[in-house]
Structure 1
């Protein structure tokens, strides 16, 4: 039984001041995951469920000690705190912008009440969880809450005390050293090749943290089931995934907001990448652990570029990168940089980043409660603008997330509206009867 273990190099960055993973400032970053529901959530039942979750997932009841080396230490008597407050969207934004104290634990809950609606938010230190494991944790929360509310005595909650090994510790037995060195050699050649830097959205924030609505912002694009289904049909007809279409749409949208307005510009699309399938044995999404890495697609984007054509470029590049195991190599190579040029290349800021969790099944809910939507958020000071996307119960949600001290609300709001218009246009456009050559129709 492992009740304490040292943090790995990858995990250490999330608990070290001013640390970055690639272009992302990760130190102390919180991960918010939750649901908006119609009806009243019972705070007492929710507290019991949070305690069950912490018992089943040992990292949730850890704290980080600093004696000699950073280490996770299991707290057998840990009970997650649940704060209950009044408020709706504004209260939620204040929560997203509130500083988090991780000294006593890495997991807590918030229950916001707003008239006939409730909002349940789980707050998790990003160093112990990623988006891929956070959504299954949220679903488990609802399954446990529903079982307790039904009066059946709840679900089994076996207490687990063995801490899972870190993702980079697991990868060390999967990725040979030669692959990591080869990846760094490619990075070094690219760094000395003199290629153009990615175009960036011009900063137009006020340069302060004094935004009255909170420094960290989001604009939500929500498509109904009909539009989401039409988007999926279009993607399949082109032999693409919805994620590829989303990347193509956002690249074309952001290009329209870049200067100069005419001509092709180099753009870097960042992608969040889940490493669970790279591990042997493969790690399930239900294991609470941070297994997130990333990769990037660099391409030249003309003004007025076709989103579907861009989606094809992105899809081909991502397929090749995954075949090379670039996300795993990137994570390990980041720990072995040999000079400042390699560090700068690995830390290149994307023009826009996309994190798509994929399809989320509808959560169970007891009588009197109905889950309206899920929400997830993770942002840090100076972080590049990004999209967080997921499809819940057949409806695609895309969140445009940004730091208002760098990017102003007015321009980013227009960008979000333009992206929604682009996605709706793609969904309305008749798709070809046969997929384009080289892009067989998929069912995923």
Structure 2
């Protein structure tokens, strides 16, 4: 199953904005020490007779901290900098002026060896180790990282850790899922950018951009309280806001069948659970198709989404989804949602030494290949709650969706979430964040 991530060329891009001085040599030492403890972080993808495999990089080619000066486009450039097949699967970049008091740390990790939980854990481990290096004094900064054995102990593939099952039951599950997608195909979000033509020579080069909304701590708390009091989930409420915003950008006044794809964490549901420190992709997905109208009730949609996801996990279908993943390239509809709601839940941010603080943390999915010629695609939304504030990131490629289109969609989702927590009807217009 793990080899399916190779052609996707997707990556998790984490970043944290920092206020205060950063000791770049100490951070470099911390990064090398942490990567030395996880052999998958020191690998690249190579072709073998049986398919792609991970192989340790030669020592001079292993990832080291990169430093670069701050400029207006530095984060966007790092977001658009791919992790190519054959190169390192992780990259760490410190953006800022030496001796300055504002920096941005960007960590990119290939999806072949990570999921959201392990990527966030890796980010936090690097900063934990940074504090330890600083606390150990100047000599620790120059200490070489632990040696990496050339015959490493690799983590077990997650697909080998699943509970046993009857192959006939898995085949039956695949038949049912295939029939469901055939009977109720979901609509996708049409692109608003026309296909490129030879006459478009003056058009800016397309790139990945991100529209972002961020609730403040009070509104995040109100959203959680609403979910608790109504028996719903924050994940379902966000999914409902995404679906209604997308439906309003499709033609017709009646209902359309849309699909919400919800990634499901597998590592916490294994026996025994798999630690978030293990750098593997331990995630599968649940796809639920439902009818959505431009004026559908978000609370009703959230209730249906939450019930469907809960039943899926209770039945153990998330394990079956992982078992049938090798069929996805032959039948992409098995994981073709109108929206992809990658809700990470409440997650901890980095703990930093005194004098340095985090002002923002972000997790943005990105990939190398986008297909504007398809004319439509799912909407990707990455939902996180760092430091008590819920944020939704909308990464998109400007050859498919324009900046203006995604900003308007983002505002629509934001307005729906704020309306849900506006108990007295006196809320001023929403503040949004690019």
Aligned CA-pair RMSD? 2.7
Match for residue 22 of structure 1?
none
Q: Please, which of 356, 359, 366 is the counterpart of residue 343 of structure 2?
A: 356
Match of 1:345 in 2: 333
Task: State the partner residue of 2:189.
Answer: 201
Matches within 5 A, 1:264-343: 264-336=255-327, 343=331
**Cα gap change, 1:425 to 1:158, in 2 (>3 Å):** farther
Would you say the 8 A contact 1:94–1:213 is kept in 2?
no
Once the two structures are superposed, the pairs formed by residues 27-46 of structure 1 within 5 Å of their partners are 28-46=9-27
Q: Quick one: structure 1 residues 389 and 38, their matched pair in 2 at CA, closer, same or farther if it must change by over 3 Å? A: same
Q: Which residue of 1 aligns with 2:94?
A: 111
Q: CA deviation at 1:423?
A: 1.1
> What do the CA deviations read for 1:104-141 (whole angstroms, capped 9, x no partner)?
42222111116642111112111011111101111111
* Native 8 Å contact 1:38 1:372 kept in 2: yes
Q: Does 1:129 align with 2:119?
A: no
Contact 2:382 2:393 in 1 (8 A): yes
Equivalent runs, 1:150-299 vs 2, <5 Å: 150-151=135-136, 161-171=152-162, 173-191=163-181, 193=183, 195=184, 197-208=185-196, 212=204, 214-260=206-252, 262-299=253-290
CA distance in 2, matches of 1:103, 1:130: 20
**Using the alignment, how far apart are the partners of 2:204 and 2:77 within structure 1?**
10
The aligned residue for residue 421 of structure 1 is: 415
Contact 1:187 1:345 in 2 (8 A): no
Mapping of residues 72-87 of structure 1, within 5 Å:
72-75=54-57, 77=59, 79-87=62-70
Aligned to 1:440: none
Gaps in structure 1 of 5+ consecutive residues:
1-9, 20-25, 431-444
Correspondence for 1:98: 81
For residue 289 of structure 1, report the CA deviation from its aligned partner.
0.8
TM-score scaled to structure 1, two decimals?
A: 0.83
Query: d(CA) in 2 for partners of 1:350 and 1:192?
Result: 13
Offset at residue 284 of structure 1 (A): 1.7
Deviation readout 1:36-71 (Å, 9 max, x if unpaired): 111232221111111111122221112233243432
The Cα shift of 1:366 comes to 1.7
- Partners of 2:280 and 2:315 lie apart in 1 by 23
Distance 1:360 1:277, change over 3 A: closer
Identify if the C-alpha distance between structure 1 residues 419 and 192 changes in structure 2 by more than 3 Å, giving closer, same or farther: closer
Structure 1's consecutive aligned runs of 4 or more residues displaced over 6 angstroms after TM superposition are: 156-160
Q: Which moved more, 1:63-72 or 1:295-304?
A: 63-72
Greater displacement, 280-289 / 223-232: 280-289
Go from structure 1 to structure 2 and tell me whether the alpha carbon gap of 1:89 and 1:33 turns closer, same or farther (over 3 Å shift).
farther
Q: Distance in 1 between matches of 2:349 and 2:65?
A: 24
Q: CA deviation at 1:73?
A: 2.3
Deviation at 1:373, TM superposition (A): 1.4
Deviations 1:358-412 (A, max 9, x none): 1122421123211011112222313632110111111111111222212222111
Deviation at 1:86, TM superposition (A): 2.0
For the pair 1:53 / 2:34, whether they are aligned, the reply is yes
Unpaired segments ≥5 residues, structure 2: 372-376, 425-434
d(CA) in 1 for partners of 2:55, 2:203: 37
Measured in 1, the distance between the counterparts of 2:269 and 2:327 equals 20
* Residues 287-339 of structure 1, C-alpha deviations (whole Å, 9 max, x = no match): 111112111111111221111111001001111111222232122213257x9
Deviation at 1:352, TM superposition (A): 1.1
- Aligned residues, how many? 404
**Most deviating of 129-138 and 249-258:** 249-258
